[in-house]
Amino acid sequence: MTAALPNPTRRVRIDDVELCVHDAGQGPPLLFVHGFPLSHAMWAGQLGPLAASHRVIAPDLRGFGASDVTPGVVSMDRLADDLAALLDALQVREPVVFVGLSMGGYVGWSFVRRHAARLAALVLCDTRAAADAPEAQAQRRKMARHVLEHGTAALAEAMLPRLVSPATAAARPELVELLRGMIAAAPPAGVAAAQEGMAAREDATALLPSIGVPTLLVVGSEDVISPAAEMAAMAERVPGARLVVVPGAGHMAPLEAPATVNAALAEFLAGLGPAGRR
C-alpha cells in the first residue's frame, strides 16, 4: 500500500487573512503569482511539470480564488508584502524565483522594491512596467463599482476575448471555460479592491535598469493587453534580460502554450546556480 500524498493546496494564515496556496515538490523555490481576476489555477500547465525539480508555491492572492477577501483598496505593495509573509509562514528562507503574469508582474515590481533580498531571479509573463493613463484608471474604478453592484458575470464576457488568442479560443475551448470559471468565482469585493490597487500602482519603468537578478520576459505574440513590442522595450532596459515571444499565444501564454513556456523556463532555471543564483 502506498502512503497518501498530502494535498498540495492548503490555507495558510498570514497577518489578517488566510491565503490558499498550492505548495508541492522539492528543490529551489519558484513562486507563481497569478493575473487578474484569476487564481493559482491559471498555472495548470506549469505546476505539475516544474514540481519534478523545484518547490512550486502558487498562492491565490488576497481577494481571489479561495483566499480571504479584504475590501477597499488592495495595493500591489500589500500583495507583495503578503507574498513575503507567506514565504515566512512556509519557512522558505532561500531566495525565490518570482514568476508573475500581468497583475502578478505588477506585484513583482513591488516585490523587487520591497523584498529584493528574497529574490533569486525574475520571470515576467505578459505584463507591463508602465502605470495606467488617467482614462485607464477611470475605467478600472468604473469596473470596480460595477462588479460591487452587479457581480462578476459581465466581467468574464468583457475579458475573455482579450485573454487568449483567436487561435487558442478556437482550438482549446476548455481553456476558455477554465478562465471563465476562475473569473466567475472571483469575489466581487476582491476584484474591486485589486482594480483600485492597480489603478493606483506606481510606474515601474525607471526600476528596470536597476534590476540586479537574472530576468526572463515571456509574452504571447498575439497578446493585446501587454503587447510583445512593449515587452521587448522592457527587456532592453533590464540588464542581461532575455525575451521569449511565444508564437500564436495571447495574454495567457503560460496556459495557452505550456510546452513552449516550460521549455523557456527550464532553460532559464538551468542557467541559475544550484541555489537559484547565476
Per CB under 6 A, residues contacting ligand MLT are: 35-36, 102-103, 198, 225, 251
What residues contact 270, with CB distance under 8 A and at least 6 apart? Answer: none
Closer Cβ to ligand MLT, 22 or 251, answer by number: 251
Closer Cβ to ligand MLT, 120 or 163, answer by number: 163
Nearest distance from C-beta of residue 215 to ligand MLT, angstroms: 19
Pick from 35, 34, 40: nearest CA to 8: 40
Nearest distance from C-beta of residue 161 to ligand MLT, angstroms: 13
Distance, in Å, from the CA atom of 60 to the CA atom of 53, rounded to the nearest integer, reads 22
Closer Cβ to ligand MLT, 28 or 110, answer by number: 110
Nearest distance from C-beta of residue 245 to ligand MLT, angstroms: 18
Nearest distance from C-beta of residue 102 to ligand MLT, angstroms: 3
Strand bridging mode 55-59 / 17-24: antiparallel
| Long-range Cβ pairs for the range 176-183 (8 Å, 24+) | 178/41, 178/44, 178/255, 179/38, 179/42, 179/252, 179/255, 180/156, 182/37, 182/38, 182/39, 182/41, 182/42, 182/65, 183/37, 183/38, 183/152, 183/155, 183/156, 183/159
Closer Cβ to ligand MLT, 40 or 251, answer by number: 251
Closer Cβ to ligand MLT, 40 or 55, answer by number: 40
Nearest distance from C-beta of residue 251 to ligand MLT, angstroms: 6
